[in-house]
Structure 1
Amino acid sequence: DVHGTYDTYGGNRDAAVRHAVQFPGIDPTVLISALAAATEHLGFGVTYSTTYFPPFQAAKLFSTLDHLTNGRIAWNVVNSYLPDAQRQGLGLQLAHDERYDRADEYLDVCYKLWEQSWDDGAIVLDAANDVHTDPSKVHEIDHHGRWFDVQGPHMVEPSPQRTPVIFQAGSSARGMQFASRHGEAVFVAAPQGPAGAELVTQLRETAAEAGRDPASMKIIHATRLIVAETDEQAHAMKAEWDRNFSVEGFLALFGGWTGIDLGGHSADTPIASIPATAMRTWVERWQREDPDHEWTVGDLARRLAEGGAGTAFVGSATTVADQLEEFADTTGLDGFNLITSPVPWGLEQVVDHLVPELQRRGRLRTAYTPDETLRERWFGPGARHPCSQN
């Protein structure tokens, strides 16, 4: 989910609208109840901003979704950053680190509502004594902080997980600090090999410094998969994708992410000639893979099209499975986040060809434990969020 449009490229939103760059976009939370009714084991991770919705409302929403999914809900916690959002009446944008400061307190409020407002056994359903819920087991939280004053109590009885599984994607120093406290699944764009292993180790060390078991954090890498029956067919599919992706669309996306307008630069402009630190930061990781290549604006768009901020893997099921295993084993990653694949055949090929191969290798499950929550599936029976006892 995103609030506001990408309007940096060319100084307006035209490119984002023209190429459907996260626009139009519906509210993903509304879809979950329908998807939950049609599935039994699938977990659902929903992006929801701490910037524009009160924590009291967020706590109620995710408790409701956790009930409807029977404990299969996760929250991808984000801070909204697009300047266009404040022009929609959503409020003034805070500075980067201040957004995380506010989000820390935001989650503290939610934890208190989810974990402390209702005791176990509060709902008694005692018809003989005309008691639905025992008032002595429902509590106000009386939170008073810099950003929020919330009395409580929580409006929803405890759900299967109480606190949803928390996803997070901060890559800055402040973002990693935030993830070390809250994130149970952390999205990264890890380089291959030793540099990726260093990033994964750094994240696990920040979790340990926050008093957590490093194993309580799953680290997930962004990847685009193009899979077919043979390597040749997969590379033909990628060639078709390369011929049809929109350079302007991906540069509009990049502008929204970074605030850098590349609209006045031709595709062959060397990135080194553009005086923006964020440009060099983005390309540094790719240059490690090909240090002699002079990266251009066109290369940037192509690389974003191939794998976003992550990595693209192309080939037969056997080839891609080998690549995924090597990447995970050499970096210490726990899994992969599949970003947009070529449609309409991208995801179908992954399901039909790659999933059975990974199952054969013991890398994907073939069955589910009945009635386990999403958190229990990842961390074991009875698992709770690391902040649940704070």
Structure 2
Amino acid sequence: MPDATSNQRKILFNAFDMNCVAHQSPGLWRHPDDHARDYNKLSYWTNLAQILERGLFDGLFIADVLGPYDVYGSSSEAALTSGAQTPVNDPFLLVSAMAAVTQNLGFGVTAGTAYEHPYPFARRLATLDHLTEGRVGWNVVTGYLPSAAKNIGQDDQMEHDERYNHADEYLDVVYKLLESSWEDDAVLYDKESGVFVDHTKVHNIEHEGTYFKTPGIAVTEPSPQRTPVIYQAGASTRGRAFAGKHAEAVFINSPTDELISGTVKKIRQAAIDAGRDGGDVKIFSMQTIVTGATDEDAWAKYRELTQYVDPLGGLVLMSGWMGADFSKFELDEPIGEIESNAIQSAVETFKKASGDEGNEWTVRQLAEWCGVGGFGPVIIGSGETVAKELVRIQDETDVDGFNLAYHITPGTFEDIVEYVVPELQKLGRYKTEYTEGTLRNKLHGEGDHFKDNHYASKFILRNRVNA
């Protein structure tokens, strides 16, 4: 008799990490059980990958920035002092090692479109897709830190919407290189004739646009997915339009159910507006989980974590995320006295999320609230409590899964694997084994390549006249 829970909607999990010492919870690198200091050792990453695969995580989502958080105090000093996402290493170089010690875990790797030409970047994407046997995705970002632009030799970033126009063309070049240049059967590997590639089946892409001119062929043969899974995280109107056109998975960060639900609806509508189905985009909401054997154990753990929160690091990140220099305000200054609609609206959201709507918050309280889990919401409780809450959030907001930020690492993920995953499985809301195939097929169950309704399908050779 089939399991009555087998057809229930399953929750997807990504682990959210960054090749640095302080990602979303600044100061917690000081916790005695935290191993984030080992971020620059392969052993940290291979161990993490194996933990995640043991827990049947769909992927490891690796954030990145190119440049320090220097909005706070108009300097990188505080970012360096607190370790807030600085120093930070390249995420791409981690993936091959993790893929070598796993068989199913996916890898969503962040890379920006603003500072590297798409031609060499497309080769790096294809190389990783080969080496992971099709388990890699690309989180497309357009950049938001002015420090990155300045260190590349530019005065500042491009204007917001122009960054997306530039990114649209960037993806066109990548699609053409990885989808249009080589036919599926171009590689002959014929030892008798001595012909490795049938050159008549490899085509110049002849791209000439506003930002890029790329006339020639791709130098990589087709990889398992050809183009890796496209992730995206922009929440603006233009960002959602970009996601509707390109993204197969989207990361959102909203601290309340109401905001999550509204963002999910807008992203699904953006996909529909682009001629796709709303379900073609898997949506992951950021979430931090503090769990243990019982609710009491989890709350005791949370109280211990708060002792290591670094308000300075929190304000460094908040200044970068919100574009407001919090160094100009006293730590005990009430937020209500700060003349910024952006800051005040964000604080009202945090207060609602924390259940502290009736009190006036100070800058210090804002920094401390963000100290465990950063900008996103936090769930505290036993595995059973957390599992039921995640199911409730999915049912009420229509998210597909969660991007799980750590408070300490890898302890956060070890706890989730031990306490939360089994409870979700009991509820029939989490897989008990991996789907076969590439990351794209694992996420969507519809094969290794773009669906025909995706914008990139126009570049696939089989759809070209006289290909």
1:192 touches 1:331 (CA, 8 Å); kept in 2? no
Mapped pair 1:75 → 2:138: yes
Corresponding residue of 1:378: 443
1:194 touches 1:330 (CA, 8 Å); kept in 2? no
Corresponding residue of 1:116: 180
Q: What is the letter of the counterpart of residue 26 of structure 1?
A: N
Corresponding residue of 1:320: 386
Q: What is the letter of the counterpart of residue 119 of structure 1?
A: E
Deviation by residue 1:152-178 (Cα, 9 ceiling, x = unmatched): 211111110011111111011111111
> Which of 363, 369, 385 is the equivalent residue of 1:303?
369
Q: Distance in 1 between matches of 2:371 and 2:215?
A: 47
1:355 touches 1:364 (CA, 8 Å); kept in 2? yes
Q: Distance in 2 between matches of 1:338 and 1:314?
A: 13
Deviation by residue 1:78-132 (Cα, 9 ceiling, x = unmatched): 1122222233235342111111110111011101111111111010112222211
Mapped pair 1:388 → 2:456: yes
What SS does the corresponding residue of 1:244 show, helix, strand or coil?
coil
Q: CA deviation at 1:191?
A: 4.7
Corresponding residue of 1:48: 111
Matches within 5 A, 1:313-352: 313-343=379-409, 345-352=411-418
Q: CA deviation at 1:339?
A: 1.2
Deviation by residue 1:324-351 (Cα, 9 ceiling, x = unmatched): 1111110000000011223453222111
Q: What is the letter of the counterpart of residue 118 of structure 2?
A: P
What SS does the corresponding residue of 2:346 show, helix, strand or coil?
helix
Q: What is the letter of the counterpart of residue 423 of structure 2?
A: E
Q: CA deviation at 1:284?
A: 4.1
What SS does the corresponding residue of 2:455 show, helix, strand or coil?
coil
Corresponding residue of 1:257: 321
Q: Name the CA shift for 1:247/1:194 in 2 (closer, same or farther; >3 Å).
A: closer
Q: Distance in 1 between matches of 2:404 and 2:222?
A: 32
Q: Distance in 2 between matches of 1:194 and 1:279?
A: 19
What SS does the corresponding residue of 1:338 show, helix, strand or coil?
strand
What SS does the corresponding residue of 1:255 show, helix, strand or coil?
helix
Mapped pair 1:211 → 2:279: no
1:341 touches 1:347 (CA, 8 Å); kept in 2? no
Higher relative contact order (CA 8 A, sep 6+): 2
Matches within 5 A, 1:1-390: 1-92=64-155, 93-289=157-353, 290=355, 291-343=357-409, 345-370=411-436, 372-385=437-450, 386-390=454-458
Indicate the larger mover: 230-239 or 296-305. Answer: 296-305
Q: Name the CA shift for 1:130/1:345 in 2 (closer, same or farther; >3 Å).
A: closer
Deviation by residue 1:214-254 (Cα, 9 ceiling, x = unmatched): 11101110011111111111111111111211001010011
Q: Distance in 1 between matches of 2:288 and 2:259?
A: 20
Q: Distance in 2 between matches of 1:194 and 1:311?
A: 12
Q: Distance in 1 between matches of 2:149 and 2:258?
A: 41
Q: Percent identity?
A: 44
Q: What is the letter of the counterpart of residue 323 of structure 2?
A: G
2:284 touches 2:403 (CA, 8 Å); kept in 1? yes
Unaligned runs of 5+ in 2: 1-63, 459-467
1:44 touches 1:73 (CA, 8 Å); kept in 2? yes
What SS does the corresponding residue of 1:74 show, helix, strand or coil?
strand
Indicate the larger mover: 12-21 or 260-269. Answer: 260-269
What SS does the corresponding residue of 2:416 show, helix, strand or coil?
helix
What SS does the corresponding residue of 1:48 show, helix, strand or coil?
strand
Q: Name the CA shift for 1:251/1:191 in 2 (closer, same or farther; >3 Å).
A: closer
Q: CA deviation at 1:382?
A: 1.8
What is the total number of aligned residue pairs between the two structures? 389
Q: CA deviation at 1:296?
A: 2.6
Q: Distance in 2 between matches of 1:170 and 1:129?
A: 50
RMSD: 1.6
- Per the normalisation by structure 1, the TM-score is 0.95
What SS does the corresponding residue of 1:349 show, helix, strand or coil?
helix
Indicate the larger mover: 251-260 or 63-72. Answer: 251-260
Indicate the larger mover: 39-48 or 352-361. Answer: 352-361
